[in-house]
Amino acid sequence: MDLKTLTFVVVGLSFALYIGVAIWARAGSTSDFYVAGGGVHPVVNGMATAADWMSAASFISMAGLIAFLGYGGSVYLMGWTGGYVLLAVLLAPYLRKFGKFTVPQFIGDRYYSNGARLVAVICLIFISFTYVAGQMRGVGIVFSRFLEVDIVTGLLVGMGLVFFYAVLGGMKGVTYTQVAQYCVLIFAYMVPAIFISLNLTGNVFPQLGLGGAVASGEPFLAKLDMVVRDLGFQEYTSGNKSMVDVIAITFALMAGTAGLPHVIVRFFTVPKVKDARSSAGWALVFISILYTTAPAVGAMARYNLHATMTPGVLTGEVFAEGNGLNYEQRPDWMKRWEATKLIKFEDKNGDGRIQYYNDKSKDAEFNAKVEAAGWKGNELTVDRDIMVLANPEIARLPNWVIALVAAGGIAAALSTAAGLLLVISSAISHDLMKGILTPDLSEKSELLAGRLAAAVAVGIAGYLGYNPPGFVAQVVAFAFGLACASLFPTILLGIFSKTMNKEGAIAGMLSGLIFTFGYILYFKGIFITPMAENIPANWLFGISPEGIGSIGALLNMAVAFTVAKFTAPCPEHIQHLVEDIRTPRGAGGATH
């Protein structure tokens, strides 16, 4: 069977599995639709949260980012896992005790204000849509590369599938399909990682392989440091960003993770407060299997890539005659990826060989050698998003592994897209319609409204995936920065400050949101041209747009406390509500 047929079979089987699970677990009531009936076991919920959380970005992009950033990629590893500590100890158990369906509903009730609820709905919709556009794009890329179908066809198939189980199954359908998707994606991630770790270091566990040694007995990381240094790149194990920026980005990703509505809402589905606590731990167990493997995948992919393009680099003979790979003899995987334009070769010095190195090196000695060897600039551009997908091909693994990786990438994108679409639809049907506009909506009409909203959201997500507004690569900064600066501090104060009032919360949320949004827009220019060059010299306190959510969160709290000091105090019954949230006893199932 050729690769394409095999990929069709593997992806088709995984789809059949999801559809089967969705039919088995379809929703019958609003409680099923919003919180899966509130009876999900904490380990199952942890697994579903892991699939919900690990998106196309985690599966496809993260190891590639780490491969090219080296130590600098640590911000994603620590940021996207450390957030679960904040979630487990600061938010999840208390929101579970509160026992309602949605995040805006908590904010609306705690701050006794539909205005606050509306601001939360706006934050939520903005965060979730930017995020979902990236997922749909990921589905499109995998389909067009591996199944060689048109990107529109790929998107339509993906949308149809998400529509089927998110719209019919609601939270219940999504929860159990996410469990199936987790199994597919983690298997697909681990198999090539284990193969490659065995090949390079002889160690079954990639986590140990990364700290292991290559065949010659040298430590792998030391060898990799040498390889990239000899090609003029920054050493793999040391960073090049300023420390303050690294701290700000890591914190923004952590607090952003804890403030993402589609992650928080997963903790409304477990039966008890103590389940919410342990469930966050289980989620992190399932997530860390991938997150502790990703650094090994990234480092080993980088190593294999350089070893393929510049074979002499392994023996320290970068500049030996005829060293770069002869373009005519390039491997098949490179030809296949060239068709997608995600890897490009340009023979600048006309010698028919590939020179892949850092032509912006500031090392005079290195540059002199480059000059002497007759190199005329770097000739290969590699899109970092292909590292995970091309990894099994680069390492010459069997075809079934490649097919599996395609199915895994699609599982990661679909599970996250479904979770996001669900919080969007519940924000519209439950918060906007039932909560604010038409409070006398019957349960049946509300369920219908939820399904309609999910259907419309799927359509918009598909459109955004086909026509990305040019910012899919930048959405990470947006979604996390906004969640960190708007929702996270407001929920936190709602639990830990009895005296925080509605004026303070609304003013805080708005200032965090507007400041962060404005700062990112100022440097990245999403719909407009950037107003200043995105370089450290122009940044506030040396903090990049990726990390500015941290400052936004501080601003949110500072404004909230200042405004609360000068406005009417928080009513007595709300203070009792907060006291009640803080103790676990009496937590019922999540209700209206």
- Chain contacts with another protein (rule: CB under 8 A): 66, 71, 73-74, 77-78, 81-82, 84-86, 88-90, 93, 207-208, 210-213, 219-222, 237-239, 243, 246-247, 250-251, 272-274, 277-278, 280-281, 284-285, 288, 291-292, 295, 579, 582-587
Q: How far is the CB of 585 from another protein (least distance, A)?
A: 5
Q: Which of 554, 70, 576, 570 is nearest to 306 (CA)?
A: 70
Q: CA nearest 260: which of 474, 491, 440, 93? A: 491
CB of 320 to another protein, least distance (A): 27
Least distance in angstroms from the C-beta of 82 to another protein: 5
Q: Which of residues 270 and 417 has its CB atom nearest to another protein in the complex?
A: 270
> E strand or H helix at 80, and its extent?
helix 74-86
SS3 356: coil
The whole-angstrom separation of Cα 22 and Cα 165 is 5
- Asked if residues 295 and 66 have their Cβ atoms less than 8 Å apart, the reply is yes
Closer by beta carbon to another protein, 141 or else 284 = 284
Of 17 and 194, which has the nearer Cβ to another protein?
Answer: 194
How far apart CA 276 and CA 186 sit, in angstroms, is 23
What is the token pair recorded at 416?
A: 């996250």
CB of 221 to another protein, least distance (A): 5
CA 269 centroid distance within chain: 22
* 395: CB partners within 8 A, 6+ apart: 192, 195, 196, 199, 300, 304
Interatomic CA distance for residues 489 and 234, integer angstroms? 37
Q: Which is nearer to another protein, 170 or 212 (CB)?
A: 212
Shortest reach from residue 406's CB to another protein, in Å:
27
Among residues 280 and 500, whose Cβ is nearest to another protein? 280
The rounded distance, in Å, linking the Cα atoms of 111 and 107 is 6
Is the Cβ of residue 292 or residue 445 nearer to another protein in the bound state?
292
Give CB contacts under 8 A, 24+ apart, made by 219-225.
220/299, 220/300, 220/303, 221/299, 223/303, 223/314, 224/299, 224/302, 224/303
Q: How far is the CB of 363 from another protein (least distance, A)?
A: 20
Beta carbon nearer to another protein, 176 or 251? 251
Q: Please, which residue, 220 or 356, has the CB nearer to another protein?
A: 220
Least spacing, CB of residue 271 vs another protein, in Å: 9
Residue 171 CB, nearest approach to another protein (Å): 22
